[in-house]
């Protein structure tokens, strides 16, 4: 195997794709360093959202999604990645060191890379068409290939998850620091490089059937009609791991990316939901009542078919590569 390194233009292109990954409120809490033979991913704690994410769990999941986007992008460009996760115990922000091997891209890798610029977080109501079990099974398989379990919640487990979402929303909305953080990171002005723009936030009701979505700043994205709001048939998947440590969260982020890209390639609309896991009480409720107390929840992903006449969503802003990628200092 050729254990060289892609040229710098290739790596910059791959990092640009990686930075298209979803992150908590589009905070993009990552930075990259380019070494002589490797690329390094670091958590950018300065971009943490302490009221939304007091444990930093969402931040690590976000970085894991960027890591998987990078792996997918490089694979499509002809480079398999060798990833060393949490390589330096003395540097907890150093999440991954990535080395490279030349390889021939597969059709699936190219399709997933092509899905990266098309993927959107769709907070609108979905259509009344259910997602076929075969597609849901494939999404579960994608998560498991990344070492993370995924469970499609139905029946009583879904009811408990919806209760947890409602309790988390009530607890957070009663917190003035949380409300201030939401105002800062949503409804952002045109030209901002981070945050959730008003153009990506639905206007009006965010109660879709039995699911109530997170309240952001007032949005400008029109819904398709009241009937659609009541007939939303989106499915909910809970990504979960055997432990709740930093490595588990990083892996969960990689699984999140794998599920989202597979769903996008299949034509599905998707929306990660972290709200019920941001409050200790409701995180424990999801663990015990939805997952049976056996595993640790890391993220909820909502998947479904976009409404038949739904307009394409605009891309959310991203920080330029020059702001997130630097050369590693040589000793």
The answer to the question of residue 310 being in a domain is no
The answer to the question of residue 213 being in a domain is yes
The answer to the question of residue 261 being in a domain is yes
101/17 same-domain check: yes
202/284 same-domain check: yes
Whole-angstrom distance, CA of residue 54 vs CA of residue 36: 35
- The count of structural domains within the chain is 2
83/158 same-domain check: no
Q: What is the pLDDT of residue 201?
A: 96
- CATH number at 69 reads 3.40.109.10
pTM for this model (two decimals): 0.96
The answer to the question of residue 229 being in a domain is yes
163/76 same-domain check: no
Tell me the mean pLDDT in the region 66-91: 97
The answer to the question of residue 309 being in a domain is no
The answer to the question of residue 127 being in a domain is no
Q: What is the pLDDT of residue 95?
A: 98
Residues 6+ apart with CB under 8 A from 214: 169, 206, 273, 275
Residue predicted with more confidence, 110 or 232: 110
Tell me the mean pLDDT in the region 289-313: 95
186/253 same-domain check: yes
154/198 same-domain check: yes
Tokens representing 211?
Answer: 């699911």
189/81 same-domain check: no
* Range in 39-43, 131-135, 190-194 with the lowest mean pLDDT: 190-194
Q: Which domain holds residue 201?
A: 133-304
296/162 same-domain check: yes
321/297 same-domain check: no
89/219 same-domain check: no
The answer to the question of residue 124 being in a domain is no
The answer to the question of residue 29 being in a domain is yes
Whole-angstrom distance, CA of residue 253 vs CA of residue 251: 5
140/112 same-domain check: no
What is the tens place of the pLDDT at every residue in 80-125?
999 999 999 999 999 999 999 999 999 999 999 999 999 999 999 9
146/275 same-domain check: yes
């Amino acid at each position: 195997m050729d254990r060289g390194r892609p040229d710098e233009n290739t790596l910059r292109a791959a990092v640009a794709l990686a930075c298209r990954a979803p992150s908590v409120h589009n905070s993009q809490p990552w930075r990259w360093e380019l070494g002589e033979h490797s690329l390094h991913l670091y958590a950018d704690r300065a971009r943490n959202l302490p009221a939304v994410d007091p444990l930093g769990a969402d931040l690590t999941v976000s970085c894991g999604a960027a890591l998987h986007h990078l792996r997918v992008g490089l694979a499509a460009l002809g480079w398999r990645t060798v990833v060393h996760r949490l390589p330096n115990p003395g540097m907890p922000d150093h999440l991954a060191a990535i080395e490279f091997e030349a390889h021939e891209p597969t059709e699936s890798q190219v399709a997933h890379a092509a899905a990266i610029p098309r993927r959107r977080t769709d907070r609108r109501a979905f259509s009344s068409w259910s997602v076929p079990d075969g597609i849901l099974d494939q999404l579960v398989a994608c998560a498991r290939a990344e070492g993370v379990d995924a469970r499609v919640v139905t029946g009583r487990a879904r009811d408990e998850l919806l209760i947890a979402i409602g309790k988390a929303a009530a607890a957070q909305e009663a917190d003035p620091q949380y409300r201030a953080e939401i105002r800062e990171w949503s409804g952002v002005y045109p030209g901002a490089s981070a945050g959730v723009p008003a153009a990506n936030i639905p206007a009006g009701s965010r109660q879709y059937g039995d699911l109530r979505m997170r309240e952001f700043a007032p949005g400008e994205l029109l819904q398709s009609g009241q009937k659609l709001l009541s007939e939303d048939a989106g499915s909910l998947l809970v990504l979960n791991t055997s432990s709740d440590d930093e490595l588990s969260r990083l892996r969960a982020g990689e699984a999140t990316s794998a599920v989202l890209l597979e769903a996008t390639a299949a034509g599905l609309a998707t929306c990660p939901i972290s709200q019920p896991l941001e409050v200790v009480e409701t995180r424990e409720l999801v663990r015990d009542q939805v997952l049976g107390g056996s595993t640790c929840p890391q993220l909820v992903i909502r998947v479904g078919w976009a409404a038949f006449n739904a307009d394409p969503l605009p891309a959310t802003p991203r920080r330029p590569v020059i702001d997130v990628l630097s050369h590693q200092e040589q000793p």
